[in-house]
């Protein structure tokens, strides 16, 4: 009886692995450090071990698993099953992760960009359940996205659709992690907020909750920048909703109010700005969901 599903969320700092029922319901999750500095082969060893371990933890046999889904930092070529050259996984360059793991574990393996995984997770189990056309955006160290059209993930021509963080909103703006100036990511993701305010987004959040006006102003300014980026997405794609996840979305009401206010003025069409439902485990739930 092969029916269970395993999801792996491969990140720059940690690997989360889950075993799930055929419905997608999670049985067990485990998280280990990636130890990316040990190199590609060691990390692949760690992924394989985490799959074996999660089977034990969930009391299932690997022989009963019908599919392993992996979410990896973009860019990913989902068709060829390769991790290309993610800024967050140094040393990885066109790694045929899908086929390597499939051979090693003798299982069907599916590979997808992590933001796309999260978009599918929200579609199947989260805030995206009621929309057929939406954009999912994760705002944390970077700003990524996944596009759902007609209830399906839209990958574009070469699998890189949804990279909304790398859209210019200020031609004279500061440099992004990718090296180009004025990108939404380079102006509104975690590191940009920290650089501008001098403190971490978490500290900013704590201050804002105590009513600190400077902190609130900084959060609202971040919301304005995100709102401008989202308005571009709305004017180009006209989705029904934008679902917002990632650590920065924890800045909560002042952030969302500012995003909504900006979008209302700047977007040509109405759009619902909705917080993501799945929090901590969205990546691994998405890695399971791409097998469904």
Interface residues toward its own copies, by CB under 8 A: 75, 133, 145, 147, 149, 154-164, 166-173, 180, 182, 225, 228, 231-233, 235-240, 265-266, 268-271
CB of 153 to its own copies, least distance (A): 12
Residue closer to its own copies, measured from CB, 98 or 155: 155
Minimum gap (Å) between residue 49 Cβ and its own copies: 33
Integer CA distances (angstroms), 247 to 87, 104, 218, in order: 19, 34, 16
Cβ-defined contacts of 160-169 (< 8 Å, 24+): 160/74, 160/75, 162/113, 162/115, 162/116, 162/119, 162/135, 162/136, 163/74, 164/135, 164/137, 164/229, 164/232, 164/233, 165/189, 165/229, 167/229, 167/232, 167/233, 169/225, 169/228, 169/229, 169/232
Nearer to its own copies, 13 or 158 (CB): 158
**Cα distance between residue 215 and residue 178, in whole Å:** 27
**Cβ 235 to its own copies shortest distance, Å:** 4
Q: Is the dihedral of CA 53, 56, 58, 63 positive or negative?
A: positive
Nearer to its own copies, 22 or 151 (CB): 151
Closest contact distance (angstroms) between CB of 107 and its own copies is: 29
**Angle subtended at Cα 71 by Cα 68 and Cα 72, rounded to the nearest 5 degrees:** 130
Q: Give whichever of 35 and 269 is closer to its own copies, judged by the CB atom.
A: 269
Closest separation in Å from C-beta 241 to its own copies: 9
Q: Which is nearer to its own copies, 139 or 225 (CB)?
A: 225
- Which of 52, 236 has the CB closer to its own copies? 236
Q: Which is nearer to its own copies, 126 or 159 (CB)?
A: 159
Closest CA to 287 of 20, 43, 14, 75: 20
With b for 16 or more beta-carbon neighbours within 10 A and e for fewer, the 177-206 pattern comes to: beeeebbbbbbbbbbbbeebbeeebeebbe
Tell me the closest approach of the beta carbon of residue 192 to its own copies, in angstroms.
14
**Minimum Å distance from CB 232 to its own copies?**
4
């Amino acid at each position: 009886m092969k029916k269970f599903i395993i999801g792996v969320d491969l990140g720059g700092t940690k690997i989360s692995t889950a075993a799930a029922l055929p419905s997608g319901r999670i049985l067990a999750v485990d998280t280990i450090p990636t130890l990316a500095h040990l190199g590609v082969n060691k990390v692949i060893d760690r992924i394989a071990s985490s799959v074996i371990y999660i089977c034990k933890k969930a009391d299932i046999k690997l022989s009963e698993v019908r599919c392993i889904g992996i979410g990896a930092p973009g860019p990913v070529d989902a068709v060829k099953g390769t991790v290309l050259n993610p800024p967050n996984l140094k040393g990885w360059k066109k790694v045929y992760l899908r086929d390597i793991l499939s051979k090693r574990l003798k299982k069907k393996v599916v590979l997808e960009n992590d933001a796309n995984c999260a978009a599918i997770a929200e579609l199947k189990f989260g805030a995206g359940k009621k929309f057929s056309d939406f954009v999912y955006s994760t705002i944390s160290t970077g700003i990524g996205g996944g596009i759902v059209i007609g209830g399906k993930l839209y990958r574009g021509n070469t699998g890189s659709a949804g990279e909304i963080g790398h859209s210019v909103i200020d031609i004279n703006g500061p440099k992004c992690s990718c090296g180009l100036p004025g990108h939404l990511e380079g102006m509104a993701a975690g590191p940009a907020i920290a650089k501008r305010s001098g403190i971490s987004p978490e500290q900013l959040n704590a201050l804002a909750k105590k009513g600190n006006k400077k902190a609130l102003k900084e959060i609202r300014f971040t919301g304005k920048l995100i709102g401008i980026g989202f308005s571009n997405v709305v004017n180009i794609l006209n989705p029904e909703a934008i679902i917002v996840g990632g650590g920065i979305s924890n800045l909560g009401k002042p952030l969302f109010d500012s995003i909504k206010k900006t979008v209302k003025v700047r977007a040509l069409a109405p759009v619902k700005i909705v917080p993501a439902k799945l929090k901590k485990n969205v990546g691994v739930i998405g890695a399971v969901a791409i097998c469904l």
